[in-house]
Amino acid sequence: MTDTQSWTLIIGFLTATFTLLGIVTTSFHRVLRSEIGSLRSEIGSVRSEMGVEVGSLRDVMTTEVGSLRSEIGSVRSEMGAEVGSLREVMTTEVGSLRDVMTTEVASLRSHVGAEVGSLRSEMGAEVGSLRDVMTTEVGSLRDVMTTEVGSLRDVMTTEVGSLRDVMTSEFRRIDQRLDHLDRDVQALTKHVFDRPA
């Protein structure tokens, strides 16, 4: 084998080695990019689910507060109607029914006080139940988000570990091939330069 053939063989081996190294690096880069993209999409889906849950909680709370306001408005209108009728009766029966009017006003006061007290207790119970529901939903959302983030962290750790193992094995294989190439180059050099003239 001539010197030109030896150098051609050496350059061919080096070109194949660097080509293999470039292919391995490019494939590792593509795999890492795809895994990071899937991780971003998972985090985006968790964020969207959390936004939907918070929005539904806001809608529920808004509807409950609106229903409470409408109930209070209806109670106010009923109270206004009752007071108006009492004023008409009081105007027509002032002279002869003062004692009856005093008794009726006292009974109406107690009735209104009872209604207002019951409305206050109902409103307090509704607000308390809404607060408990909201606290429970927020706690469950926090637990779900913590579980999802933990699972994503475990998946990412596993994927990075597997990628590290694959990269380590590929670099070991490349080191072995370089050692073999170095041994072949030394053998060729020894064969070329140590041959008798």
Which residues, at least 6 apart from 49, have a Cβ–Cβ distance to it below 8 Å? 144
Sign of CA dihedral 76, 79, 84, 87: negative
> What is this structure's pTM?
0.29
pLDDT (tens digit, 9 = 90+) per residue, 151-162?
989 999 999 899
Amino acid at 183: R
Q: Is the pLDDT of residue 99 over 80?
A: no
pLDDT grade, residue 195 (50/70/90)?
low
Q: Is the pLDDT of residue 6 over 90?
A: no
pLDDT score for 85: 87
